[in-house]
Chain A
Amino acid sequence: MGRININSVTKRFQTGSSAVTALDNVSLSVQEQEIVTLVGASGCGKSTLLNLIAGFETPTVGNVLVDGQPVKGPGPDRGVVFQQTALFPWLSVEDNIGFGLSLRANQKVGDHRQIVERMLQRTGLSAFRERRPAELSGGMRQRAAIASVLAINPSTLLMDEPFGALDSLTRSIMQDFLLEIWDEQRKTVVLVTHDIDEAVYLADRTVIMTAHPGQIHEVIDVGLPRPRRYEMRSEAPFIALRDHVTQIVRSEAIKGTVGG
C-alpha cells in the first residue's frame, strides 16, 4: 500500500485571463515504503505536485494513481503534514492526536484510547497531553501534528516543508525522529523541502525540479546506507551528493532570475 504513479501530469492555474503552468508533463513513480524528497527553487511546482497526490488539486492533463486508483480527493489513506502545523488551537494535544480517530470515516482504525496513548508516548508528549498547541514549542507542535496524522494510520505520508519553520537544531532532531518512525512503520513518504541537506539525508531518491514551467530535471538515487546517522552529513558520499544537487538547484534558480 502507498504506491504512487504520476502519469504525464500537467497543471495549469487560471488567474484572470492568463494561465500559469505550474507543472508541465511530469511523470514520477514512488514505490511502497519509499522516501522520495522533492527539491527545487520556489515556483517549481513541488508543492503543487504534493497537493495533486493529496487530492487538494486535480490535474489539468494526465492522472495521479495511488495503489492503482485515481485520486478523487483528499482521504485518510494519504496523511498530509503541513508546514504550518495543522493543530486545532481549542483542543489539547491529546484531543488533537485523537481528532482524526474520532471522525466517522476512521471508526475502524482501532482502539481510539490505545492509539492516542501510543502516539503520545512515541512522540514524547505524554507529559504535555493536557496542553494546548499554543503552549508548546515549535518542535513539540510539529511532533503532535505528525502524531495526529500517524494516528489514522495512512499508508502514505505527504509532507510539505514540514520542518521549514523550525530552527536548524530542532530540524535535524525532527529529521531523525521522522526516520525512526519510518523505520518502525515503513510508510511511503513524499516530502517537499527547500533544504537540500534534508532532501538528501532523508531520501531513497531525491527529485530535482525546475521552474517555468515546473518539470522534473533529474531523479537522484541517494544510495546512502540506512539507518542514516547525523555524522554521515560530514562524510564524503553525502557531501558529493549534496554538492551535486546544490549545483543544479542553484544554476536553475539563477537561470530563473535572469530569464524573468
Chain B
Amino acid sequence: MPDQATSPGDQPSSVAKSGGAWRRVSITVQYAIFPVGILLLWQICSEIGFVRRDVLPPPSAVLSVWYDLITGSTDLAGRYSGTWLDHAWASTWRVFAGFSWGVALGILLGLLVGLSRMVERTLDPTIQVLRNIPVTAWVPLSLVFFGIGNAPAVFLIGLGAFFPAAINSTHGVRQINITLYKAARMMGANEWELLSRVILPAALPSILTGVRLSMGIAWVLVVVAEILAVRSGLGYLLNDAYQFFRNDVVIAAMLSIGLLGFCSDRLVVFVRDILLTWNKKETFGGEN
C-alpha cells in the first residue's frame, strides 16, 4: 500500500503530510507516464503526417469512433454504429462458455493425473502430445465437425483453456510438500480428508495459476474463432472492418478485446486473492 512507508511515525509530522501527498502524485505519474507517452507519440505521428490517417488513425479519431460504436449517436462508425454491445456480449459469452468447460475438465483430469500413476500412464502421454498441436491447427477439423456457428468457437476456446488448467493442476499435486501429506496420514486422515483438506488446498495456488493462463488463451482463441467461424463478436467486427478499410474500427475493436480480456483477468485474480489470502506472505511483491 502506497502510504505505509510515510506513516507519521517515520518522519516529523509537518513533513509527513506534504511528503504523503508528493508520494501519491509520484505514484500516479509512475502509472500514467508510459501509456500517456505512447498515446501522445501516436497522436503526434498522425498529426504531422508521419503516417497516413486512414492507415493509422490517431487516438482521438479512434476514441470518437469507439464512442459511436457503443452509443450509435454520431454515425462515425458507419455500418458498425451502435453494434458494440452485441459484439462484446457475443465474445464474452463465448469466452466464458469455452473457458468453463475447458477449465473444469482440465482441473479434473489434471488432478487425476497428479494423484494416480495409473491415470498418468493412461492419459498423460496423450495430453502431452495434443498440447503441442497449436489450437489454431484444430480450426479446419472443428469447422468440418461443428459447422459455422457458436459450437466450433466454444470448442476451440475450451480446448485452449483445457491445457494450462490440466498441466498446472497436475503440477500442483506433484509439488505438494510430502511432510504435510505424511503428517495428515499420521493423524489418521482418511482418503477423502487427505484430498479435500490437504491435497486440494495445497495444489490450489498452482491450479489458479493455470486458470489464469486459461483465461488469457480463451481471449486469444475467441478472436481466431470469430474471424473464421462465426459472424458476430469483436473478432468478427475487427475482421469485417478490416475488409472495408476501417482501421479506426479495427483499432477500437482491438482495444475493446484488450479491455475485456484485462477485466476477465482481474476477475480471476480477484477470486484467487479471496481463496489464497494465506499465500501472499512468503512471496516477493516487488520493491516500493
Contact = CB atoms under 8 A, between A and B. Distances in A.
Interface of A: 54-56, 73-76, 78-80, 82, 84-86, 88-91, 99-100, 103-106, 132, 134-135, 149, 152
Interface stretch (B85-93, B114-122, B180-188): B180-188
Contact of A106 (B179, B188, B276, B279): B188
B72 interface: no
A75 to B, nearest CB: 6
Given A82-B182, A86-B179, A90-B201, A152 B187 contact: yes
Given A84-B179, A88-B180, A75 B186 contact: yes
Given A90-B278, A132-B281, A103 B179 contact: no
A103 B196 CA distance: 12
A82 B186 CA distance: 11
B281 A134 contact: yes
A91 B202 CA distance: 11
A79 B183 CA distance: 9
Nearest to A99: B187
A220 B78 CA distance: 95
Contacts, number: 70
Interface residues on B, range: 20 to 34
- Which 3 pairs, one residue from A and one from B, show the smallest C-beta to C-beta distance? A105-B188, A86-B183, A100-B187
Contacts of B279: 89-90
A105 B186 CA distance: 11
Nearest to A76: B188
B188 A79 contact: no
Contacts of B201: 88, 90
Contact of A78 (B179, B186, B278): B186
B61 interface: no
B187 A132 contact: no
A29 to B, nearest CB: 22
A105 B183 CA distance: 14
B190 A80 contact: no
